[in-house]
Amino acid sequence: AYPNPFNPSTQIRYYLANTESVNIIIYDVMGRKVKSVINKMQNAGLRSVIWNSTDDLGQNVPSGMYFYSIQAGEYMRVRKIILLK
């Protein structure tokens, strides 16, 4: 994710070797789901999505550490991001 730390948004970039179902979810430090950023099939290539520091209800989230998980096919990775206001 870039930038990291960020305020008010960060861009998550990823590369797909094949057409895959992509699922990116933001979690808080307690492991609670904050936002489903993307959940759809995407064609191969370089992709990106922006998280604007809101939850699934459109409410702004507080400053702090968050995690995003990205799953594409059998690939799964979790990374830390920090929101500074």
The per-residue pLDDT for range 11-69, each reduced to its tens digit, is 999 999 999 999 999 999 999 999 999 999 999 999 999 999 999 999 999 999 999 99
Q: Which of 23, 22, 2 is nearest to 11 (CA)?
A: 2
Query: Using 50, 70 and 90 to split pLDDT, how confident is the model at 85?
Result: confident
Q: Write b or e for each residue in 58-74: b if 16 or more Cβ atoms lie within 10 A of its Cβ, otherwise e.
A: eeebeeeebebebbbee
Q: Which of 32, 36, 39, 38 is nearest to 62 (CA)?
A: 32
HSE-up of residue 77 (Cα within 13 Å, Cβ side): 10
69: amino acid identity, one letter: S
